[in-house]
Structure 1
Amino acid sequence: MYKVIFTLVLALASFMGLHAQEFQGMAVYESKTSTSDFKTRMEGNKNMAPDMQKMIEERMKKMFEKTFILNFNKSASIYKEEEKLDASAQAGGGMRMMSSMTGGGGTYYKNVKEKSYTIDKEFMGKEFLIKDSLPNLQWKMEGETRVIGGYTCYKATAVKAPSATDFRNFRPKREEAKKEEDKKESDKPAAEKKTNFLDAVELPKEITITAWYTPEIPVNQGPEGYWGLPGLILEVNDGKTIILCSKVVLNPKEKGEIKPSTKGKVISQKEYDEAVVKKMEEFREMNQGRGGDGGMQIRFGG
């Protein structure tokens, strides 16, 4: 009897400590996006030289495999890519643009109490400070469980519209669209044929998100813009990108600063998306026939 009471008191103390004002945690996430379908698409592009295909594959691998650190407390969090040498620093304009659209760069601050977020992001030489309301995903609780890093996790799913400013959301064009495009290109003179990599992809109307969260860490947080579940989200899978937690430290000796950035031009998510999409279209038009990695740089004015 005394043993049961002691166990309950210990559990309650841990729970209360987790919800104390000074509580803080740190989680490491490994983000990996599959590029196999893009590789297949490039191999079928007769207009792209083999050495260009190999170079793009190597750069994509580096861009789509990243490590992030999430520092969180009971009301806010800040998510940032682990600092390392910028593998795309010497890349051409096209690759620099895609690298800035694969989840890295800047910091992602979420305040779940105020239901707001702030992202500082550099795009094509200009700094932006995106401020907006957190997306309210309609999570559906599933019955499955699994263990991740020693924590019992529960499955939840949601459907959302993908962002056009995150290149990880793009998929290779459907086979029908690909055949139609290839037929049009085959009738053109060699000098006019399109080899821009952006012409090989399209944005789906919606994507299904699968998340695994643990009530054992009862904070309303997760990687990137994910939140809204009764426990820390340890894994997110959108069918193409997997973000998996590899390490969790509760109440670390050295606490990270959890504050939003203040640098950059303040802009809403919608305004930022519109500006980026516009530059993508400019890039597409200005780099036709350059093999998808033209050296031309496009910068925001002002």
Structure 2
Amino acid sequence: MMNRSYITLFFLLCLGLMQSQAQHAFFPEQGIITYDKTIHVKNLLKRQLTLIPEGDMQRRFLENMIPNAPETAVLQRTLNFTPTEVSVEPVPKNHEPFIAQLMQFGMLDYGTKFYQNFAKNESQVSLEFGGSAIMIKDSLPSVKWKITNEYRNIAGYDCRRANGLTQDSVYVVAFYTDQIPTPGGPNVIQGLPGMILGLVIPEQNVNIYASKVELTAAKVNTDLLKKKGEVASREDTRKKLLGSLGRFIKEKQFHYLFTAMFL
């Protein structure tokens, strides 16, 4: 009888300990995440080639460039997060001349900076294009998500897969963790019940995966729009750029380039 009592007591203590641990699960409130953005350069250039008409000077330029292009290039960016805010900025890096030239032409990456406030439904975007500063302030972009039952471990966190369609009709695959409940990610794509640590954008030939998560004091850049210049909405910016570039490139090519600014 005594042995049964001890066994019952031991079982109850273990059960209480498990419940206590579950109730006090640790959810980090702030930190810094480093992401590796892998661009499949040859595939990206080939994709851009399909958007340019035969005989166009840009097409010949790309055709001559593709054989010498590396298969991939890796860029880095950091994300600072709190429960309600994130900011994302590129990490300066010296690239080989070929990649540096493509970046200068705006064909790989625009060095875009992002800020999002989930409590205020606010988004800020800052980048350089054609030697001019582009600054956008708008509401958070919408994404239609479908959460799946596929899982993957990224940077030590168990992540669940979600398939999404952005407001630009771009298909994306995201892997998010609810262990970091801030609903952000490495670019403007957001809206899942946790932080996006992995992001695949097939149309843009880009994969973005977290390589390091540091649970430390965050330094969220809450104002990317300090530079002098016009601040506009995303749609107004799109119309303005289309008006100035529409004479030189086709609309499909413009849509592809404009979308890449936010990814």
Q: Same fold (TM over 0.5)?
A: yes
* Map of 2:124 onto structure 1: 118
Letter in 2 for 1:223: P
- Indicate if the aligned counterparts of 1:66 and 1:104 stay in contact, CA closer than 8 A: no
- Indicate if the aligned counterparts of 2:146 and 2:163 stay in contact, CA closer than 8 A: yes
Secondary structure of 1:276's aligned partner: helix
1:274 correspondence with 2:234: no
* CA–CA distance in structure 1, aligned partners of residues 237 and 150 of structure 2: 37
1:98 correspondence with 2:106: yes
Question: Considering only aligned residues, what root-mean-square deviation do their CA atoms show, in Å?
Answer: 3.4
CA 1:89–1:280 in 2, change beyond 3 Å: closer, same or farther? farther
1:81 correspondence with 2:90: yes
CA 1:209–1:6 in 2, change beyond 3 Å: closer, same or farther? same
* Map of 2:181 onto structure 1: 218
For these two proteins, the number of residue pairs brought into alignment is 227
1:27 correspondence with 2:33: yes
Alignment of 1:156-195 (within 5 A): 156-162=162-168
Choose the corresponding residue for 2:190, options 227, 235, 243: 227
* Cα shift at 1:74: 0.6
* Cα shift at 1:103: 4.3
Choose the corresponding residue for 1:72, options 81, 87, 92: 81
* Map of 1:139 onto structure 2: 145
* Cα shift at 1:77: 0.2
1:243 correspondence with 2:251: no
Letter in 1 for 2:20: V
Secondary structure of 2:143's aligned partner: coil
Q: Which runs of 5+ in 2 are unaligned?
A: 1-11, 251-263
- Indicate if the aligned counterparts of 1:88 and 1:95 stay in contact, CA closer than 8 A: no
Q: Deviations over 1:88-126 (max 9, x none)?
A: 79977x863424xx4442420011111110112222222
* Cα shift at 1:248: 0.8
Q: Deviations over 1:134-159 (max 9, x none)?
A: 11212111121222222111111122
1:153 correspondence with 2:162: no
* Map of 1:165 onto structure 2: none
CA 1:39–1:141 in 2, change beyond 3 Å: closer, same or farther? closer
CA 1:91–1:70 in 2, change beyond 3 Å: closer, same or farther? closer
Secondary structure of 2:219's aligned partner: coil
Q: Deviations over 1:141-187 (max 9, x none)?
A: 1121222222111111122354xxxxxxxxxxxxxxxxxxxxxxxxx
Which structure's relative contact order is higher, taking Cα pairs within 8 Å and 6+ residues apart?
1
Percent identical among aligned pairs is 25
* Map of 1:256 onto structure 2: 219
1:57 correspondence with 2:69: yes
Secondary structure of 2:174's aligned partner: strand
- Indicate if the aligned counterparts of 2:86 and 2:220 stay in contact, CA closer than 8 A: no
* Cα shift at 1:268: 0.9
* CA–CA distance in structure 1, aligned partners of residues 151 and 99 of structure 2: 44
After the TM superposition, list the runs of 4 or more consecutive aligned residues in structure 1 that deviate by more than 6 angstroms: 86-92
CA 1:222–1:39 in 2, change beyond 3 Å: closer, same or farther? closer
Q: Which runs of 5+ in 1 are unaligned?
A: 163-205, 286-302
Alignment of 1:5-20 (within 5 A): 5-15=16-26, 18=28
Letter in 1 for 2:122: S
Secondary structure of 1:80's aligned partner: strand
For normalisation by structure 1, the TM-score amounts to: 0.64
